[in-house]
Copies of this chain bind each other. A is one copy, B any other.
Amino acid sequence: MADIQRIDCGPRMSQAVCYGGLIHTAGQVAMQVADGDIKAQTQAVLDAIDALLAAAGTDKSKLLTAQIWLKSMSDFAAMNEVWDAWVLQGSTPTRACVESNLALDSLKVEIAVTAAL
């Protein structure tokens, strides 16, 4: 479809899809720092989200929603430290954060967002 824009469209999934004035990202994980602690992984995930938003011509000031999956809820406070420093005051998205095992045992956090374009 001419009006559906897919970013990093791979054989299994696209890393983001833009349609109808919104960008939806895939769940981002920290493959490059999969041996890192929760803060390093959260920062890498948020950096990946920033890059996808930028590729679509938008940024975190237009965030609408976020879903966070933590491998262990014991990482909640440390994840939140990185999250709280990343979000823009006055522009925070909705959020749901639950505990789930992720695709690889070493992955501690996965985050997907939607934002306005």
CA distance A26 to B66 in the complex (A): 8
| Contact (Cβ within 8 A) A9 B102 | no
CA distance A75 to B22 in the complex (A): 32
How many chain A residues sit at the interface, stated as a range, is: 35 or more
CB distance from A59 to the nearest CB of B (A): 11
Contacts of A1 in B (CB 8 A): 61-62, 91, 116
Contacts of A80 in B (CB 8 A): 12
Bitwise interface map of A from 70 to 106 toward B, beta carbon under 8 Å scored 1, else 0: 0001001000100110010111111111111111000
- A residues near B (Cβ < 8 Å) are 1, 3-4, 6, 9-17, 19-22, 24-27, 61-62, 64-67, 69, 73, 76, 80, 83-84, 87, 89-103, 110, 112, 114, 116
Inter-chain pairs besides A16-B94, A24-B94, A27-B98, 7 sampled, C-beta below 8 Å: A9-B91, A9-B92, A11-B84, A17-B94, A25-B94, A27-B95, A76-B103
